[in-house]
Amino acid sequence: MSAPLVSAIVPTFRRPQLLERSLGSVMRQTYRPLELVVIDDGSGDNTPEVLESFAPRVKEAGIEFNWFSKQNGGPAAARNAGMERAKGELFAFLDDDDRWYPQKLETQLAMMRTHPQAGVSFTRYVHEGKEDQPKPKPGQMRDGWAFDTLCSGQTRAHMQTLVITREVQRRVGGFREVRNWEDTEFTLRLSLEVEFLAVLEPLTVITTVASSISREAGLEGDLQRDREKLQLLDELAASHGGHPRFSRESAKLLRARIYDEHIKHLIWLGRVAEARTAWQQALHECGEQPLLAQLKGKLTRARVAGWFGRKLKKP
């Protein structure tokens, strides 16, 4: 039986100087056959010329190269466009500021061949400059039916580490075309449809750059992203609440985790009254979750600090 074609999906936006890192790591993969699909998300700069310059090297590496430009719509829309153009039986995802270790795809595909029930594979990863500190902890690399443990945080499947089958992608559809949390929402939908396979090796390097969406507008941006997460979770519950593997109790726990971060963001901004109101709302919506109970002391400390004109600092 011939090895299946894997399509590496790489969206990019105004980062031509970083493409050597990400695309170079795809070209160095030990797995074949491989297709590299790059989506220029309406950069409006010299990204097309830079991508065209990669063509001879990609061909020399024995990889099929498929790149194209589209109107700007964000990374989710770009990934969806990439999957529509891709030819592979499996999809792997990489952002333009990250990179893979050479054996990543070969390792995952070898394990997926021995676990045919798994339609999703994920690995550990490291942050650039902290290669000796792989994440997540081994205890958070749980496989099998993963919806409940993804909601609780007991399983952490980073988007840049995923390999999924085309068949399961057809069943769940594409990414929600929003700018925040679209990767988590997609992973949750995957977990309702197919078993996950955890690979304990750290095989991806994550690099956070100043222009990352996750850093836009600082803590104020975090507050907006928190609200968007809660909205997406509501919509997921509305559309998939009747699924036999959807657990409303697990979804409540995930909701509490989002509220936990939201309340801390308000505290660090010194908006203690708003934080307390959000905490009361979280208790109403999520019930007596332990992590929400733990916030009571932090709220008290923040209120006392406010009497002296101080704010609690972000750890």
Cis peptide bond upstream of 136, omega within 30: yes
Identify the CATH class of 6-206. alpha beta
44 φ, ψ (degrees, to nearest 5) = 70, 25
Q: Measure the CA angle with vertex 290, ends 285 and 294; round to 5°.
A: 105
Q: Under a CB-based contact definition with an 8 Å cutoff, are residues 163 and 120 in contact?
A: yes
Residue 155: pLDDT band (50, 70, 90) is very high
Tokens of 217: 């507008």
pLDDT higher than 80, residue 225: yes
Helix 47-60 to helix 19-27 angle (10° resolution) is: 20
The fraction of the chain above a pLDDT of 90, given in percent, is 94
Q: Tell me, what amino acid is at 22? A: S
Contact 267, 275 (CB under 8 A): yes
Q: Are 120 and 194 in contact (CB under 8 A)?
A: yes
Q: What is the pLDDT of residues 19-78, one digit of tens each?
A: 999 999 999 999 999 999 999 999 999 999 999 999 999 999 999 999 999 999 999 999
Whether the pLDDT of residue 291 is over 90: the answer is yes
Contact 296, 264 (CB under 8 A): no
Mean of all residue pLDDT scores within the chain: 95
Tell if the pTM clears 0.75, that is, is over it: yes
Each residue of 26-36: pLDDT tens digit? 999 999 999 99
pLDDT band, very low/low/confident/very high, at 2 (cuts 50, 70, 90): confident
Residue 1: pLDDT band by 50, 70, 90 thresholds?
A: low
315 pLDDT band, cuts 50/70/90, is: confident
The domain locations on the chain are: 6-206, 217-307
Q: Extract the runs of DSSP E, i.e. beta strands, from 76-173.
A: 90-93, 99-100, 118-127, 163-165
Q: What is the DSSP letter of 13?
A: S
